[in-house]
Amino acid sequence: MARYDIAVIGAGSGNFLANRSLRDKQFAIIEENLFGGTCLNVGCIPTKMFVHTADVANWIRDAGRFGIDASLDGVRWADIRDRIFGRIDPNSAEARQGRVDGANTTVLEGHATFTGDHRLAVDLGDHVEEVTADQVVIAAGGRPVIPTEIAESGVPFETSDTIMRIDELPRSLTIVGGGFIAAEFAHIFSALGVEVTLVVRGDALVRRTDAEISERFTALATKQWNVHLGRTVAAASYDDRVVTLELDDGSHVVSDLVLVATGRDPNTDRLGLDKTGIELHDDGRVVVDEFGRATVPGVWALGDISSPYQLKHVANHEARAIAHNLAHPDDLRAFDLRFVPSAIFSHPQMAGVGLTETEARAAGHDVVTSVRDYGDTAYGWAMEDTTGICKVVADRATGLLLGAHVMGPDASSLIQPAIQALSFGLPARDMARGQFWIHPAMSEVLENALLGLDLR
């Protein structure tokens, strides 16, 4: 049985653990798929490269509003796809090779299951290798959830893990789901000329955002795409290269291709955790404390396998903390998940940090809000924007900012000053008047929203 100081299951953010502070430790890096994990290979990085391409297509279509005559003459899907993965795939291969050649890392390319608290069986295809380690870090990520009605129907379908590598654009695409992933892929494919339909279980899209953002985005989505709200898939069939989804109201949606985007589950059910004392949450995530420690001493977890936030920047933060804790067991560093921001790269973009208005009221705050339109700023005029908004939520009594929520172009960048203010406890009034805001930059929409707060 091979023995290591540290065994890491998953080479996404888990790959960051073998850093300079732990160069005296011998690592086993166990990965059954591609190095770089979800984000690099099938998640945030390639999707945003597709999103930017989709944005370019929309800019061309929209140029006439600015007095520029332009037309979108065609979309070369294969060229778009190959350009993107021509950059992604070598990056993943380079990450792998760096660990294969590493002085203190051994790469085991196979599936790991626990046979005890600190013992692993790694299926390498032609044989199984037994591994034991003083410390084990579980960073095995998650996978797409497939509704039973689709999974057991036999119809072909794509997920976010596969759809970016399809050979050609479909004429029509049905997306089952109404969250972050669904909103982003609806934008990508519709901008590239595909007729997009969404089947959404809830009464609105992106319901984890602030209710006002969700409501406004849903209204805009219904103008761009065919949206079926409050509907689920009852049955599915495939005939003559066409997929038919029967919805729970008896209606039917027909398309060339189906994308299932109904969420992701942690991969804990594939790790043999019943052979250990590792406890799980009801939703399958590994239970960890504020330092990333599981319920078995010497076992840690990070990222989508344990975190309530399926976000790369959270996984990276947790990896940095756990790397520190492995190197400095007498000086543990806690995760700081107080103000986790998120962004949705759809059309338009959305971003948020802190409490929504509903959450702030439920928490008992004396809530005051302020909403300002992009179009009320000078740069908003330049953009001819008619839908973008910035909303801030504060506590009237303390003057502290509680949350910020933006919908519109570059929302993912505009939110950053609010993230900083929340993280360092900067009162809303001090944030608004304690610094310069470049005029006429788009960031003035955040300044204006802050100034609109009715604080004591």
Among 378, 375, 376, 359, which residue's Cα sits nearest to residue 367?
Answer: 359
Peptide linkage before 144 cis (omega within 30 of 0): no
The answer to whether 303 touches 181, Cβ cutoff 8 Å, is no
330-345: burial string, b at 16+ Cβ within 10 Å, e else: eebeebeeebbbbbbb
Q: Do β-strands 119-123 and 128-138 pair in parallel, antiparallel, or remain unpaired? A: antiparallel
Closest CA to 156 of 45, 59, 241: 241
Single out the residue of 2, 267, 274 nearest to residue 115, CA to CA. 274
The CA distance from 263 to 176, in Å, is 10
CB under 8 Å to 256, separation ≥6 — which residues? 170, 171, 172, 173, 241, 242, 243
- Among 52, 252, 281, 439, the active-site one is 439
Residue found under tokens 């595909």:
194
User: Do 158 and 259 contact (CB within 8 A), yes or no?
Assistant: yes
**DSSP track, 75-142:** --HHHHHHHHHHHHHHHHHHHHHHHHS-TTEEEE-SEEEEEETTEEEEE-SS-EEEEEEEEEEE---E
Count H helices, E strands: the chain? 13, 21
* C-alpha distances out from residue 255 to 175, 194, 207, Å: 10, 10, 25
Tokens, residue 254? 């027909």
Q: Is 281 a catalytic residue?
A: no
Cα–Cα distance for residue pair 296/277, rounded to 1 Å = 6
Is residue 291 within 8 A of residue 332, CB to CB? The reply is: yes
Strands 27-30 and 105-108, by their bridges, are: parallel
Name the residue type at position 238. Answer: Y
Q: Is the peptide bond before 440 cis (omega within 30 degrees of 0)?
A: yes
Count of other CB atoms within 10 angstroms of residue 53? 17
* Amino acid, single-letter form, for residue 409: P
Q: At what angle do helices 44-62 and 77-100 cross, to 10 degrees?
A: 160
Distance (Å, whole) CA 6 – CA 118:
10
Residues with catalytic function: 439
